[in-house]
Structure 1
Amino acid sequence: MGYIPQHSLDNLKKYSYKGVDKSLLSKHILNPFWTWFVTLWPLTIAPNTITLSGLCLVLLNFLTMLYYDPNYLTLKGGATGPPQWVYFTWGAGLFMYQTLDAIDGKQARRTGMAGPLGEMFDHGCDALNTTLEVILAAQALNLGRSWWTVASQMATLANFYLTTWEEYHTGQLYLAAFSGPVEGILLIVGIYVISGIYGPQFWDVGILTFTRLDRIPFLEQNIPNIGLNESFMVFGAFGVAFNIASSYANVWRATRSANKSTTRPLLGLLPYVFSAALQVIWLASPSYYNSVIIHSRIFVPFLCAWGLQFAHTVGRMILAHVTSSEFPMWDWMWMWSFVGAVDANLPLILGRPPIIQSSPHNVALFVYTTLALSFFAYARFCVLVINDITEYMGIACFTVRKKDKEGHWQMTKLAADGIAKTA
């Protein structure tokens, strides 16, 4: 027995992907493009290879940001950062990520490789991309190291968690008329393009000034003229509230039709609330050394560690979905952040300085250690899950192969037939 229990592995054969996409943009414009684009890929290329290629493009964007701004120096209202042309590459990279993320399922059906491994791999890459895009978008919106970026991280991860939670309880993935994977990504691509044309300082313009509503005395006196970037964050808050309502509505209908409790699934939202609260409590500690995390060069490592812990949490949730296992309510990776949050708040709890994070150097060391442990824990989870699923189902992760009855690797029949037909 490996990482996944045997009885859970047996449930893998019962799994089949189900999805609902109500996006008009996806139906009439993007999907026809994706259907054509997937035909450009040879049948010898595995769908997971396509998925990983898309994530590599986002990682390249992230490395570009670190190269031009290694300390993430752009504070709110600042003027430093990468050259404006870089934002165009970020937009192109994210659009290609969306495209590759959309065609991997089509490639899986073309090659006969559709199954739970692809679901796990796809969602795992999406979870990592979520945090990376938060950091990149905050740079493009000229938010930089600020609580607005923290709020963006919380809202974006919450949307992803809600979608995964909903899929677990309903058995299918719902994409609304306006969803993160479709319209949300294109919206961020648009932000990158605008920042590339006008620079990130463009987003500091007040929304009333931009819309020229400040010429109306009543509006000028009664509505705050917040920046376009901050207005975008407010818009995101309403989006999260809408997604909470719509996701629960879908879960309520599914559980009611199955004669199950319609309120019990709400307990599944507590893990995210708890884990996100830990990060905020850590950042908002009264200790001087800890309160400067958000305004220092370790802010990005902190967000990355948070994102890796989140990816581990939703990864276990997706695994529970494809194996029909119990919903995971606890994740041991939170313990490290719990220690960090408690230690940072010792001045408030016991009236004494932090024990571990007693100096700026120790705070940085602790954050980087958290990042390293989060990375290795999530990497270990991915490797163990991939090994268990590929061994049990007799498939390969990055090649279009299956095992025959004698245990020998061979190309899937669909792929072999397709290659023979092409020849």
Structure 2
Amino acid sequence: MGYLPQHSLDNLKKYAYKGVDKSLFSRYVLNPFWTWFVTLWPLSVAPNTTLDAIDGKQARRTGMAGPLGEMFDHGCDALNTTLEVILASRALGLGRSWWTVSSQIATLANFYLTTWEEYHTGQLFLGYFSGPVEGIIMIVTIYMISGYYGPQFWEQGIWSFTHLKHLPLMSKLPDLPLNESFMVFGAFGLGFNILHSYLNVYAAQRKGSGGHQPASRTPPLLLLLPFVASALIQIAWLSHPRYNDSWILGSAAFVPFLCAWGLQFAHQVGRMILAHVTKDKFPIFDWVWAWSALGAIDANLPRVFGISPLIQTTPRRTTLFVWLTLVVSAVVYARFVVLVIRDITNFLGIACFTVRKKDGKGQWHDARPDKVH
């Protein structure tokens, strides 16, 4: 018995990628470049070893487009999301703070939202302003500014920087630092994306298209709650009362904590993407949350029951437990990736990192560059 049941594997043959990208920047700038750039790559190069923006184009050139490609592509994106949060927060000078936590929540929420929308509509929708396009360009711009001026650039007040402080209306508004203003802008963007994704799902449900997923009595909006629950667990752990100077926020344990959170999130959305390509039921509970819930409960024992933590009694033990959480999260995610890749490649008779083709007898072999069509 493999990781995937037979009916899920059978549904892989019905999979067809559908995507919509309304970004003007993609249409007139990036896509023409990608279309040219992919032609520079030999046909013997597997799509999954190429750059993120051209892997799909390379897959179509080599005849390897399929569900595994989407799983691999979005799985890498899910991991990159947390890494981008860490790097961008450092570039903005946010440091180990609740602003960085807020950035993590907002960024992961956007990714979860897009995956939730794709599951229910059957297509990946990128609007006129999306994270994978304009969001990345904006982050690159932040890196360039911070690289030239230093992170202290973002500590300037927004009205002072824009020279609007002297205006009567602006004088009544708080002169937030640029980095905090960026976070506020991101919150409005998240709100807009939630509304837009909901409208797309609602329209798909009314038309009966709904991504052709299994019939479910659970309203789509309720399937946003798994992300809320997982985020609340992490917040509860971070917001625990300080005991014997044991603390995560503001300590060396903060970055591994975010990485563990990111791996758990990647596992969560990875199962959602798998459910989409196999037309299976939407995954609601992820048992790996239990590990973080243990950390949150243990850290909050002084607040809830008035007793000292059983595990996180010192800063060193807290740090070790966070690192152990990171290891557990990495092992769980790695196991998921290996089992899913094994089952899909065995069933479809394809490879993940090499280009293969069928011979006259229907057997798969590594393809020579001059034989790939």
**Common fold by TM > 0.5:** yes
Q: Deviations over 1:158-186 (max 9, x none)?
A: 00000000000000000000000000000
Say if 1:134 and 1:153, in contact at 8 Å, map to a contact too: yes
Choose the corresponding residue for 1:125, options 62, 72, 76. 76
* 2:262 is the alignment partner of 1:307: yes
Aligned equivalent of 1:59: none
Q: TM-score, normalised by structure 2?
A: 0.95
Structure 1 residue 417, shift from structure 2 partner:
4.5
Percent identical residues: 68
Cα distance in 2, alignment partners of residues 132 and 226 from structure 1 = 26
Match of 1:216 in 2: 167
What's the counterpart of residue 322 of structure 1? 277
The 3-state SS of whatever aligns with 1:38 is helix
Could you tell me which residue of structure 1 aligns to residue 5 of structure 2? 5
Aligned residue type for 1:350: F
Q: Which of 359, 366, 369 matches 2:314? A: 359
SS in 2 for 1:214: coil
3-state SS of paired residue (2:71): helix
Q: Does 1:27 align with 2:11?
A: no
Cα shift at 1:212: 1.2
SS of the equivalent of 1:201 reads helix
Q: Find 1:227's aligned residue among 149, 173, 177.
A: 177
Say whether residues 1:253 and 2:196 are aligned partners: no
Match of 1:205 in 2: 156
1:74 match: none
Instruction: Calculate the TM-score normalised by the size of structure 1.
Output: 0.84
Say what the alpha-carbon RMSD is for the aligned residues: 1.8
Counterparts of 1:135 and 1:361, CA distance in 2? 22
Q: 5+ unaligned residues in a row in structure 2: which ranges?
A: 211-215
SS of 1:142's partner is: coil
Shift of 1:219: 2.1
Contact 1:207 1:231 in 2 (8 A): yes
Offset, 1:415: 7.1
1:266-277 matched pairs, under 5 angstroms: 266-277=221-232
Residue 147 of structure 1 corresponds to which residue in structure 2?
98
Q: Displacement, 1:348? A: 1.7
1:19-54 deviations in Å (ceiling 9; x for gaps): 01110110111100000000011000000111xxxx
Tell me, what secondary structure is at the counterpart of 1:215?
coil
Deviations 1:249-279 (A, max 9, x none): 0000001111888970111101100000100
1:278 aligns with 2:233: yes
2:291, 2:54 → 1: CA distance? 37
User: 1:287, CA displacement in angstroms?
Assistant: 3.3
State the match for 1:78 in structure 2: none
Query: Match for 2:285: what amino acid?
Result: W
Partner of 2:187: 237
Q: State yes or no: 1:292 paired with 2:247.
A: yes
CA distance in 2 between counterparts of 1:7 and 1:28 reads: 42
Matches within 5 A, 1:396-407: 396-404=351-359
Equivalence for 1:380: 335
Give me the whole-angstrom Cα distance separating, in 1, the residues matched to 2:244 and 2:223. Answer: 34
- Whole-angstrom distance in 1 between the partners of 2:56 and 2:192: 28
Distance 2:245 2:342 in 1: 39
CA distance in 2, matches of 1:31, 1:296: 42
Q: 5 Å matches for 1:138-217? A: 138-217=89-168
SS of 1:174's equivalent in the other structure is strand
Q: Deviation of residue 402 (structure 1)? A: 3.9
5+ residue gaps, structure 1, are 51-99, 419-423
The corresponding residue for 1:93 is: none
The 1:43/1:340 distance shift into structure 2, 3 A limit, reads: same
Per-residue CA shift, 1:92-125, capped at 9, x if unaligned? xxxxxxxx21110000000000000000000000
| Cα shift at 1:144 | 1.1
Q: Which moved more, 1:384-393 or 1:400-409?
A: 400-409
User: What is the CA–CA distance in structure 2 between the aligned matches of 1:191 and 1:309, rounded to whole Å?
Assistant: 27
Q: Residue 54 of structure 2: SS of its match in structure 1?
A: helix
Which SS does the other structure have where 1:20 is aligned? strand
Structure 2 equivalent of residue 85 of structure 1: none
- Alpha-carbon contact 2:59-2:65 (below 8 Å) kept: yes
Aligned residue for 2:125, secondary structure, equals strand
8 A contact 2:311–2:317 mirrored in 1: yes
Cα displacement (A) at 1:403 = 5.0
CA contact (8 A) 2:43 2:372 kept: no
Distance 1:388 1:405, change over 3 A: farther
Asked if structure 1 preserves the Cα contact closer than 8 Å seen for 2:246 and 2:312, the reply is no
Which of residues 334, 342, 347 in structure 1 aligns to 2:302? 347
Question: Offset of 1:358 from its aligned partner?
Answer: 1.1
CA distance, structure 2, for counterparts of residue 414 and residue 23 of structure 1: 34
Q: How does 1:324-339 map to 2 (within 5 A)?
A: 324-339=279-294
* Paired amino acid for 2:311: I
Aligned to 1:16: 16
| Cα distance between partner residues in 1 of 2:116 and 2:128 | 19
Bigger shift: 403-412 or 347-356? Answer: 403-412
**In 1, are the aligned partners of 2:357 and 2:372 still within 8 Å (CA)?**
no
CA contact (8 A) 1:396 1:402 kept: no
Query: What CA distance in whole angstroms lies between the structure 2 residues aligned with 1:352 and 1:176?
Result: 50
Per the TM alignment, residue 405 of structure 1 is displaced from its structure 2 partner at its CA by: 7.2
- After superposition, the C-alpha distances for 1:166-222 in whole angstroms (9 at most, x for unaligned) are 0000000000000000000000000001111111110010101101122224422x2
Question: Distance between the aligned counterparts of 1:382 and 1:415, measured in 2?
Answer: 31
How many Å separate the matches in 1 of 2:91 and 2:7?
Answer: 47
